[in-house]
Chain A
Amino acid sequence: MSPDVFAPAHRIAAQVREGDVTAVAVTEAFLARIAALDPVVNAFTDVTVERALAQARAVDNARATGAPLGPLAGVPFAAKNLFDIEGLPTRAGSKINRERQPAARDAVLVERLTAAGAVLLGGLNMGEYAYDFTGENAHDGPCRNPHDPARMAGGSSSGSGAATAAGFSPLSLGSDTNGSIRVPSSLCGVFGLKPSYGRLPRSRSFPFCDSLDHLGPFARDVTDLATAYDALQGPDAHDPACAQRPREPVLPSLQAGIGGLRIAVAGGHFATDDMPEAAAAVARVAQALGATQHVALEGAAIARAAAFLITNSESATFHLDRLRERADDFDPETRDRFLAGAMLPVAWYVQAQRARRWFHDEMMRVFADVDLIIAPATPCPAPLVGQKTLELRGESVPLRPNLGLFTQPISAIGLPVAAVPVFGAGLPIGVQIIAAPWREDLCLRAAFALQQEGVCEARAPVLG
């Protein structure tokens, strides 16, 4: 049989396991699609052809000898280029970082997917140093939306969203500090999981903002997302923020349904006035999940402001030497924000951290009465590449910071979120399914139910 690049990852793994197709044939099919169509999308910055074929051959050899195969045997995946990939400099979307020594070892999450049998296809485009919601990059070119290449993929995990949507890789890894998994998931129309802060170790990935950095998977299918997430879980001693929790697999409860769950729609800061696509998507998801109550989430705007200040201050301090010595080598769109961030008073930063804790405590009281919260992921579907402003509630505002309007307050306090795609008449747009800390299982149960009902799906784009 010839491989179907839009088949779910778990089906590909089953076909490889059963001998219906070889891992090498699967890998070659994806590499051919990338070679043919990625010049349009620009999702990949590195395609690791030799490594991919060698890994695929190892999977086929293991099967031939009767060795046990992992749950993702022969499934291709790709990683945002801030994950260490052995033999490549970890560029993190920058020009400066490609002068770094090649990574001596894969990032821990790349190692875990590889251990599950997955085959790495390469590194993915991203906004410079992850300070981005658009997917534009002055060094590597904009990553384009597979559903309309004139439009943004969203960022900063632009290549992760685009490659997953385009049928270049059924699974991808990305990072999310203020929305960088959920924004590209929304704009590209795929599923994304931002786990609880501290759940997945960030060891051997290039940092952006230590207080807020999360890593997580993208997929076009919820079972795939859960399978990848389960393979990624587990403690690691080299990330001080890792909560060191044991694995808590979600696959066993994935099909448990939503019966008995108390589900509410977020209001206040998350209101979708004058955002017709976001409003329609939230309404469809709320109806499908039987959510009738609303929660105001007072304080979300404070949490967003806190996340803005923490991100701006920590990241700029991290890059201070680079800003002093090589400012001209930055992408101008990120450089000037970093330069401003370097000059923020410490009092602003400390107050932001205090406010973060305050909003966390407020939300823990909300979760006494609610299991899941529904909120829009982005204010709009994918804007045009190069667009600088956004019409938001009757006001023209800068596009870059405001694409994260709805994601930023949630990651500010580390809540787990599944971003689920809704296709209306035109472009896709995402909805956030938010749970209390450590309840990724509930986010994914709801996402699975929405997929089963046909409310949420990752449609294949027409490319080429």
Chain B
Amino acid sequence: MGAGGVSETHPKTAFDAARHCDAMAPVLGLTITESQRLVVLQFLTIAHGMAEIVRAAPLDEASLELAPVFRPGAPEVTA
């Protein structure tokens, strides 16, 4: 696999940006107007392409280190 390529063991997933948008927008309470729709679908398609690249990363199957680490702090002291 070349850097950024999609490997043969990870065939491309099917993605229909229009159907995805139609399903997800009401779930999120978003209204996508006709004037916005074309560009929104373009960006969903780009994001899917990025997801395909990332999906092909040769990850250790045991890795799940998400960057944001939550550290409980100390109570705030009020005067």
Residues in chain A within 8 A of chain B (CB atoms):
210-211, 237, 240-241, 268-269, 296-302, 304-306, 308-310, 312, 320, 323-324, 327, 332, 335-337, 339-345, 348, 350-359, 401
By a CB distance below 8 angstroms, the chain B residues around A356 are 67
Closest 10 A-B residue pairs measured CB to CB?
A301-B4, A340-B43, A305-B50, A336-B39, A305-B53, A343-B24, A355-B57, A348-B51, A353-B66, A357-B65
Smallest CB separation, B71 vs chain A (Å): 7
CA–CA, A343 and B31, complex, Å = 12
Provide 21 A-B residue pairs closer than 8 Å at the C-beta atoms, listed in order of the A residue.
A210-B68, A240-B70, A240-B73, A269-B4, A301-B53, A306-B54, A308-B46, A308-B47, A308-B50, A310-B67, A324-B30, A332-B39, A337-B43, A339-B30, A340-B40, A340-B47, A343-B24, A344-B51, A350-B66, A353-B65, A355-B59
By a CB distance below 8 angstroms, the chain A residues around B40 are 336, 339-340
What 8 additional pairs, Cβ within 8 angstroms, besides A336-B43, A352-B51? A298-B3, A300-B4, A308-B50, A339-B40, A342-B24, A343-B20, A358-B57, A359-B57
CA–CA, A337 and B49, complex, Å = 15
By a CB distance below 8 angstroms, the chain A residues around B64 are 350, 354
- Pair A358/B3 contact, Cβ less than 8 Å: no
Contact of A351 among B36, B44, B51, B73 (CB under 8 A): B51
Knowing A350-B66, A354-B65 touch, does A309 contact B3 (C-beta < 8 A)?
Answer: no
Contact of B25 among A343, A351, A359 (CB under 8 A): A343
Main secondary structure of the interface of A (DSSP, over half): helix
CA–CA, A143 and B69, complex, Å = 36
Smallest CB separation, B50 vs chain A (Å): 4
Indicate if B12 sits at the interface (CB-CB under 8 A): no
Smallest CB separation, A153 vs chain B (Å): 24
- Pair B3/A211 contact, Cβ less than 8 Å: no
- Pair A351/B54 contact, Cβ less than 8 Å: yes
User: Chain B residue with minimal CB distance to A212?
Assistant: B67
User: Chain A residue with minimal CB distance to B23?
Assistant: A343
By a CB distance below 8 angstroms, the chain B residues around A300 are 3-4
- Pair B3/A268 contact, Cβ less than 8 Å: yes
Smallest CB separation, B61 vs chain A (Å): 10
Smallest CB separation, A345 vs chain B (Å): 8
- Pair B3/A301 contact, Cβ less than 8 Å: yes
Knowing A301-B3, A350-B66 touch, does A309 contact B43 (C-beta < 8 A)?
Answer: no
Name B16-68 residues within 8 Å CB distance of A. Answer: 20-21, 24-25, 28-33, 36, 39-41, 43-44, 46-47, 49-51, 53-60, 63-68
CA–CA, A445 and B27, complex, Å = 52
By a CB distance below 8 angstroms, the chain A residues around B39 are 332, 336
Knowing A354-B64, A355-B59, A357-B63 touch, does A341 contact B43 (C-beta < 8 A)?
Answer: yes
Contact of B28 among A304, A320, A327 (CB under 8 A): A320
Knowing A320-B28, A351-B54 touch, does A302 contact B3 (C-beta < 8 A)?
Answer: yes
By a CB distance below 8 angstroms, the chain B residues around A352 are 50-51, 54
Contact of B54 among A298, A302, A335 (CB under 8 A): A302
